[in-house]
């Protein structure tokens, strides 16, 4: 159970990662969680300008991070920590002089006058609402570290490449492009690189390309592109996962391309991962594809049996569970990727914990048979399923989607199908076109582009598309 104190602690650490050091030290470092009251977090701060800064300028950002940590919407009130009394004086005596000065004289300090007196809004503030101080960054998975990453023949090259990039970021292989199928450990490797860079004091951003797109959509909608640029273009190491999802999203590709160039020119490291090689990333723009090919391209092959077995042994060790070698082998043989491996391992581990007797090979086989049914593996969606869901969400009939009509609503629904089919099936663009009333491969490409453009400029369209995507993912 997460306590309010835990939620605040997480928020505090997130802010430490997000804000630049001067900002963090000035406004947040001394903040303390005091109590949780109804649904308000009461947080104590040392002086009035920290309070005002947090309560006004930084508020939206802090609340967003806190709500994420808390798992539901939260509000915060900042209070002054009690000062005075003999003991507090003694503490004060050890503080650097300027801080005592600031404490005592805050209201008169001209620099802080804006925060102290109710500010008269500027013209710009009146026409557009106040902005969060900075965009939040994605949290890393604490389990995706190098010490939990088993190296074998299939991933050894990618592992070495990441290591040499970390030794001299921005120097040798820029960008580093890693590709491989589902569940071969791309995300794990990328996040491990982010952990290491951050530990070395670097500003490392890990972002799945969809989140990058999303940041851009929000930035365009709220006219905050400068802030979005600030976030990404100040990274020391930018790590973008699943770049295959950039294909067809023109404004995102454009933004990413410029970010990429800015970072590369200033010697910052870029690492990307994709489910396919740069050359196979069509219809991604040529200029971005050639950038990707311009650094070091390494692939991670399908995991060999020995590697899967070694991963199971790592997990056994971590969870203090003993399994015989034949059982380990049965688990590793029952699946083809590490993602499914976890499901298989968990089933066996649960059984071992419940019964406290060693499990035999045949029992393991029997238990794992159940995986064959609902399968941990996602099944591929069909074009017909996508058309049906889009028809329901966009309010257009299946016949219209597959027909000749070109009214705005019908075209839009058809383009949504193209885009979703590209993301959620293995169908080629030609096959997608064929299933949509014999349209050509290039019609599909321009349809995918079109819907991405509309999505960036019209929030409702984006919402519809995401609703449809959500339903489809639920059906897998």
Q: Which residues bind Mg ion (CB under 5 A)?
A: 186-187
Contact 338, 311 (CB under 8 A): yes
Q: Which is nearer to Mg ion, 284 or 412 (CB)?
A: 284
182 binds, among Mg ion, ligand ADP, none (CB under 5 to 8 A by kind): ligand ADP
Q: Which is nearer to Mg ion, 137 or 385 (CB)?
A: 137
* Shortest distance in whole angstroms from residue 190 CB to Mg ion: 8
- Name residues whose C-beta falls within 8 Å of residue 453's C-beta, 6 or more positions apart in sequence: 250, 251
Long-range Cβ contacts of 360-367 (<8 Å, 24+ apart): 360/327, 361/324, 361/326, 361/327, 361/330, 364/327, 364/330, 364/331, 365/330
* Shortest distance in whole angstroms from residue 311 CB to ligand ADP: 5
184 binds, among Mg ion, ligand ADP, none (CB under 5 to 8 A by kind): ligand ADP
Q: CA 240 to CA 243: how far, in whole Å?
A: 7
Q: Which is nearer to ligand ADP, 135 or 307 (CB)?
A: 307
- Take residue 307 and report the two structure tokens written for it: 């590697």
448 binds, among ligand ADP, Mg ion, none (CB under 5 to 8 A by kind): none
Q: CA 463 to CA 466: how far, in whole Å?
A: 5
* Shortest distance in whole angstroms from residue 316 CB to ligand ADP: 13
Chain residues that interact with ligand ADP, rule: CB under 6 A: 144, 148-150, 155, 180, 182-188, 311, 338-339, 342
Contact 380, 426 (CB under 8 A): yes
* Region class of 237: left (phi > 0), else alpha (psi between -120 and 50), else beta: beta
* Shortest distance in whole angstroms from residue 431 CB to ligand ADP: 24
Q: CA 251 to CA 222: how far, in whole Å?
A: 16
Helices (H), 248-373: 250-265, 286-293, 305-319, 325-333, 338-355, 361-372
148 binds, among Mg ion, ligand ADP, none (CB under 5 to 8 A by kind): ligand ADP
* Shortest distance in whole angstroms from residue 317 CB to ligand ADP: 12
339 binds, among Mg ion, ligand ADP, none (CB under 5 to 8 A by kind): ligand ADP
Contact 102, 47 (CB under 8 A): yes
Q: Which is nearer to ligand ADP, 296 or 416 (CB)?
A: 296
Output the residue with the shortest Cβ distance to ligand ADP.
185
Q: Which is nearer to ligand ADP, 307 or 393 (CB)?
A: 307
Q: Which is nearer to ligand ADP, 80 or 182 (CB)?
A: 182
185 binds, among ligand ADP, Mg ion, none (CB under 5 to 8 A by kind): ligand ADP
* Shortest distance in whole angstroms from residue 338 CB to Mg ion: 10
Q: Which is nearer to ligand ADP, 235 or 311 (CB)?
A: 311
Q: Give the three-state DSSP class for 476.
A: coil
Q: How many C-beta neighbours within 10 Å does residue 452 have?
A: 23
Helix (H) / strand (E) element for 90: namely helix 85-94
């Amino acid at each position: 159970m997460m306590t309010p104190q835990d939620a605040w602690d997480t928020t505090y650490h997130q802010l430490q990662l997000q804000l630049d050091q001067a900002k963090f030290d000035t406004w947040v470092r001394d903040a303390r969680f005091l109590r949780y009251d109804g649904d308000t977090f009461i947080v104590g701060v040392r002086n009035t300008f920290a309070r005002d800064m947090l309560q006004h300028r930084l508020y939206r950002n802090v609340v967003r991070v806190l709500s994420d940590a808390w798992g539901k919407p939260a509000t915060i009130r900042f209070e002054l920590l009690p000062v005075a009394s003999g003991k507090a004086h003694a503490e004060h005596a050890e503080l650097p002089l300027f801080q005592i000065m600031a404490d005592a004289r805050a209201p008169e300090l001209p620099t802080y006058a804006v925060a102290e007196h109710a500010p008269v809004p500027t013209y710009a503030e009146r026409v557009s609402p106040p902005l969060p101080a900075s965009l939040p960054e994605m949290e890393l998975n604490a389990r995706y570290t190098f010490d939990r990453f088993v190296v074998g023949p299939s991933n050894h090259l990618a592992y070495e490449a990441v290591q040499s990039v970390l030794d001299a970021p921005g120097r040798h292989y820029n960008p580093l492009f890693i590709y491989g199928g589902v569940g071969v450990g791309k995300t794990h490797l990328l996040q491990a690189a982010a952990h290491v860079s951050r530990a070395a004091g670097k500003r490392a951003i890990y972002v799945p390309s969809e989140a990058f797109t999303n940041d851009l959509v929000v930035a365009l909608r709220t006219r905050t592109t400068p802030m979005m640029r600030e976030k990404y273009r100040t990274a020391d190491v930018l790590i973008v996962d699943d770049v295959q999802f950039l294909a067809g999203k023109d404004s995102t590709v454009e933004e990413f391309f410029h970010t990429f160039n800015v970072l590369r020119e200033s010697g910052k490291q870029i690492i990307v991962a994709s489910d396919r090689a740069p050359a196979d990333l069509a219809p991604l723009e040529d200029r971005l594809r050639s950038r990707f090919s311009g650094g070091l391209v390494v692939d991670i092959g399908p995991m060999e049996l020995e590697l899967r077995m070694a991963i199971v042994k790592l997990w056994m060790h971590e969870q203090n569970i003993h399994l015989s070698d034949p059982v380990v082998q049965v688990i590793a043989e029952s699946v083809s990727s590490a993602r499914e491996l976890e499901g298989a391992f968990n089933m066996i581990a649960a059984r071992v914990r419940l019964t406290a007797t060693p499990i035999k090979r045949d029992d393991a086989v029997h238990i794992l048979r159940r995986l064959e049914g609902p399968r941990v593996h996602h099944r591929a969606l069909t074009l017909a399923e996508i058309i049906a869901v889009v028809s329901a969400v966009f309010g257009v009939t299946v016949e219209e989607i597959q027909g000749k009509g070109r009214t705005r609503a019908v075209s839009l629904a058809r383009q949504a199908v193209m885009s979703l089919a590209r993301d959620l099936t293995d169908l080629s663009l030609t096959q997608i076109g064929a299933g949509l009333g014999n349209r050509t491969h290039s019609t599909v490409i321009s349809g995918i582009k079109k819907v991405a453009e509309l999505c960036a400029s019209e929030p409702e369209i984006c919402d519809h598309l995401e609703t449809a995507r959500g339903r489809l993912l639920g059906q897998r």
